[in-house]
Amino acid sequence: MRADLSRPLLPVTPEEPVQGTFDCERTVLVVARTVTSTGRLLEALRFFRDDFRVKPVFTVNDTSRYSAGAHELLAASGVEEIVPWDRVGELDYALALSASENIDFSRLRGTTVVLPHGIGFNKWVPDPTTRGTRLAGLPPVEALRTGRVRLVLSHPSQERQLREACPEIAGSTAVTGDPTYDQLRASLPLRDRYRRKLGLGDRKLVLLSSTWRSESELGAWRTLPLEMLAALPSDEYQVALVMHPNIWAWYGSRVVRNFFDRALDAGLLLIPPERGWHAALVAADVVVGDHGSLSLYSAGLGKPLLLSAFGAEHVPGTPVEELGRTAEHLVPGTGLREQVERALAHHDPQRFSGLTDGIFAHVGHAETRLRDLLYSELNLAPPPGEPPLLRPPDVDVTPQPVTAYDTFTDLTTDGDLRIRRFPASARQHDVAAEAGSPRHLAVEEDERDLHRPHQASVFVLRAPSPAPEARAWAARALESLPGARVIAAATESGCVAAVRRGPVVEVSGSADAMLLASTVYACWLEGDLRDRDIAVHAGETSLRVRLTVS
């Protein structure tokens, strides 16, 4: 909530009698503006953890269209008082902290440290004040001329770039390295943990990453998530999407989810703007990005990288331009699966090492260097020892279960069954079939599209029930869905499947009922429905299934 300013704002200074419990020696004014910058500022509070000498006070310079959500993000993090921007002049503070170059610096006194909310200065963006463009990340010349702005950089090359673009930057920069990059690198050994939290199993994670505006991945190729889901077998791949927070702020969460409704039904993991992208990047097997910062982080971590878009708004001579020249580009049209598989098969983890050496300085020490800079500006000795390098938060969302599969089966002469399943909601238009493989539609009872149960060859109740109840449900469903060939209901040990004008089959196996029901259908289609053991392969998962025909 906003601070109650009906009473005077009392500055916190050492000369005053202490009214609270802790004798805080310095106040830091945390100036949020957008969801992006607010997230970075909340992360930066870790530099003051356990230090009773420093008290953060929060405000929002909410003059941007992209400020939507900043107040809510602060509140969700536990910030209970937000000082209105027009009252910050009544505060006494030792240092202002921002992660945006677009705040109104004239309202602030003393030094303002500007943290980066991306990597480097790689993009031209519109400037409403001049109706031209400006270099994203660079504070206004008027603010630099005051000598009260310190701009944090990740590499000395950025300082050289900025001096050429704006000589007034001289003396206003500090090269600390990139704490986020250090955090990501140190998290790589936890990759299995993040994959386990995401429920990936043996599936590969394809992470789509889009910056904002029309030249971004989604601006240039808005159907990419749906096309990728349609091209990749669900038992082999999970697709996730990270979008720049400005996209969420511009359209709002409800509209964004409406844009990707079919993709969400197809199992898309939509990473929220406030947390989770670090974990998703560490867990990813391949990244499909654009000219945004996440592509550079991917290159720095040695991830396989494909560029699906690369906007002309990037700045010539920057590392991002070099990335655009050296990385593989995803070609629209056909063969998305083949391009992803090729990127995985032929990737060299050291491919971008020369590039990233020019992006990240002081690797492994950025956390300490940035903390020491902040304490130097506060005129306080930093806490002893190195600051902790905190683990990035988990992704706190899970994909929706896929309830309809476009399914392909191959039953071999030696008794093995290969099944490949694709989310039906992503394949609205006919997609090229797997060569020579029989195809059927398998639908679960929870499917939202009411047309699909009537189109299904296989219809399934996934929630387990005792065998007698499962048999009764299957019998009723056979009557109500005359187009279905196999109706199956899950049991604790597998499922019970009823075949139209055929037997009832008890299936024992540890797979989900959708996979087991498709196994029954494949055997029926081959005219080989009998008591048998069968090895079923779906993606990297292989299991033995027992069919008992009655």
Q: Which of 244, 242, 356, 363 is nearest to 301 (CA)?
A: 356
What's the angle, vertex CA 525, arms to CA 519 and CA 527, rounded to 5?
Answer: 105
CA–CA dist 311, 135 (Å, integer): 15
CA–CA dist 529, 456 (Å, integer): 20
CA–CA dist 378, 297 (Å, integer): 31
Cβ within 8 Å of residue 342, ≥6 positions away: none
Q: What is the pLDDT of residue 67?
A: 83
Q: What is the pLDDT of residue 1?
A: 46
pLDDT tens, per residue, the chain with 550 residues? 444 444 445 454 445 555 678 889 999 999 999 998 999 999 999 999 999 999 999 999 988 888 888 999 999 999 999 999 999 999 999 999 999 999 999 999 999 999 998 888 988 888 777 777 888 889 999 999 999 999 999 999 999 999 999 999 999 999 999 999 999 999 999 999 999 999 999 999 999 999 999 999 999 999 999 999 999 999 999 999 999 999 999 999 999 999 999 999 999 999 998 889 999 999 999 999 999 999 999 999 999 999 999 988 888 889 999 999 999 999 998 799 999 999 999 999 999 999 989 999 999 999 999 999 999 999 999 999 899 999 999 998 889 999 999 999 998 877 799 999 999 999 865 565 566 789 999 999 999 999 999 999 999 999 999 999 999 999 999 999 999 999 999 999 999 999 999 999 999 998 899 999 999 999 999 998 999 999 999 999 899 999 999 8
Give the global pTM.
0.92
Do residues 2 and 82 touch, judged by C-beta distance below 8 A? Answer: yes
Q: What is the pLDDT of residue 12?
A: 46
Phi then psi dihedrals of residue 230, to 5 deg: -70, -30
Helix (H, G, I), strand (E, B) or coil at 274: coil
**DSSP conformation class of 381:** P
Say how many Å lie between the first and final Cα of the chain, rounded: 66
Q: What is the pLDDT of residue 153?
A: 96
Helix/strand/coil (H/E/C) assignment for every residue in 21-73: CCCCCEEEEEEECCHHHHHHHHHHHHHHCCCCCEEEEEEECCCCHHHCCHHHH
Distances (CA, A) of 421 to 9, 235, 343, 418: 62, 7, 22, 10
CA–CA dist 20, 81 (Å, integer): 16
